[in-house]
A and B are shown apart, each in its own frame.
Chain A
Amino acid sequence: MTTLAMTGRPLLQVEGLTHRYGSRIGCRDVTFDLWPGEVLGIVGESGSGKTTLLKCLSAQMEPHAGHVVYDTREDGPQDVFALSEPRRRLLMRTDWGIVHQHPVEGLRMKVSAGANVGERLMAVGARHYGEIRGAALDWLGRVEIARDRIDDMPRTFSGGMLQRLQIARNLVSRPRLVFMDEPTGSLDVSVQARLLDLLRGLVADLGLSVIVVTHDLAVARLLAHRLMVMRAGAVVEEGLTDQVLDDPQHPYTQLLVASILHP
């Protein structure tokens, strides 16, 4: 019996990733591969280490042990923490996107919506004002923000609009890998559905690879191909999303699934 030949190689290879806060464990010995076009969900309750792991993966924090190897466009697989600081910064600005739970962490609140989107393009070398404004308009449209809001300041936007603006700012530079931390966490339920639908569409259309942290198993089911379940800093179960949710093996995953309220 053969297994399917995997096309190409992983976009991200993570090995033995560990981060401690003093003597306390943030995340411990996390190992996995992320494939191109794959959406990986990281689930678990508050304090399970999901956000710590995401911050280490996305180079917002340096791990105490382990490796994160990213398949760069120019030079193939590179250890992210062995890159020079400017190279790492460039990677994070261009090839990666980071969508924070609270949009204000990912946006510049003192410049217009259009400038928030255009700024990312200028960071990768775009200089032509008309083209930058055109791309900003296009992306506002794709995240369902009316074109006539382009010159408005973000503080005049609702929570859902801010989150969509943050997504546009991240995707305008055509990243290949996007990290999301509870992307729907700060939104009302009705607004969540719209954002989820939008994210599903964008991820499929752009063939993005995504690592999304969420405590909401319904969000995980809708977005993720594969799930990792974390508890006390360690991955306790991993697999196909619907298999993990419908036939959980680990006692903790069973508890998590059994604790969901069904309306």
Chain B
Amino acid sequence: MTASPSLSLAGIGKQFTLHVQGGVVLPVLAGVALDVAPGECVALHGPSGSGKSSLLRLVYGNYRAQAGSIAIRHRGQTIDVAAASAQTILKLRRYTLGYVSQFLRVIPRVPAIDVVAEPARAVGMTAAEAERRAERLLSRLRIPERLWSLPPATFSGGEQQRINLARGFVVDYPVLLLDEPTAALDADNRRTVVSLIHEAKARGTALLGIFHDAEVRDQVADRLFAMRPPSMAA
């Protein structure tokens, strides 16, 4: 490999200790090691319960790793998400690390267009430029213009997912995490998402994702990373 990885995981271990349920310990991940190069898309592959979503959340800093390192290249530096301060993770998320989760977290009263444009404004784009980018993505993802000024709380599941996708692609993040980005989408919109992913790869974005749709997975993934439930992995 010529380019050094944008994202490099080593020895990742994660378990949940459920204090509310008598201290039950649930092992989720052990010894996960994985590199993703610039322009590469790696699909996490495995049955449900194998820790795919948990791994994405660990990379995003949403879950806390008990073992291992999560190295991400950020503006010429390398940040270990597993050891970084809250301020550092927030900066990493603002400029480098995008995440399209399965569900949109709705903010009361904020119109769809502003939900999408917000990350672009946060990296320093003018309000006008951020709005232009948001509009372009909303159009490409076939959100009718009459919905742009409405808060997405009352949108359908598919519409909310597309708002989430638009928000994830409005900034050209060098590293992008995708958790089932096409689960609730029709064929046309699935094709749009495939195009967006191809464009991101062409820009050099490193992508790590979960794609249940085999057709989409085959079109975007350069390779699969096999995951097993921890009991089988032992």
| Chain A residues within 8 Å of B, Cβ to Cβ | 1-4, 6, 35, 38, 193-194, 196-197, 200, 222, 225-226, 239-240, 242-243, 246-247, 249-251, 254-255, 258
Could you say which residues of chain B place their CB within 8 Å of the CB of A242?
Answer: 62
**Is B109 a contact partner of A193 (Cβ separation < 8 A)?**
yes
Contact between chains at A240 and B78 (CB < 8 Å):
no
Write out the residue numbers on chain A whose beta carbons fall within 8 Å of the beta carbon of B63. Answer: 243, 246-247
Q: Nearest B residue to A239 by beta-carbon distance? A: B86
For the residues of B in contact with A, the DSSP-based class is mixed
A194 to B19, CA, bound (A): 36
B68-82 vs A, Cβ < 8 Å mask (1 yes, 0 no): 010100100111100
Contacts of B90 in A (CB 8 A): 225, 240
Count of interface residues, chain B, beta-carbon cutoff 8 Å: 30
A38 with B87: CB separation less than 8 A: yes
Chain B residues within 8 Å of A197, by CB: 107-110
Q: Is the CB of A1 within 8 A of B107?
A: no
Query: Which chain A residue has the least Cβ–Cβ distance from B75?
Result: A4
Given A240-B61, A246-B62, A1 contacting B80 (CB threshold 8 A): yes
* B contact residues around A243 at 8 Å (CB): 61-64, 86
Of A1, A6, A226, which is in contact with the most chain B CB atoms at under 10 Å from its CB?
A1
Whether B78 contacts A2 by the Cβ 8 Å rule is yes
For B87, the chain A residues whose CB sits under 8 A away are 4, 6, 35, 38, 225-226
On chain A, the residues within 8 Å of B57 by CB distance are 246-247
Please indicate the chain B residues that have their CB under 8 angstroms from the CB of A226 in the complex.
86-87
Residues B64 and A249 in contact, CB atoms below 8 Å apart: yes
Shortest Cβ gap from B99 to chain A (Å): 10
B contact residues around A1 at 8 Å (CB): 69, 71, 78-80, 83
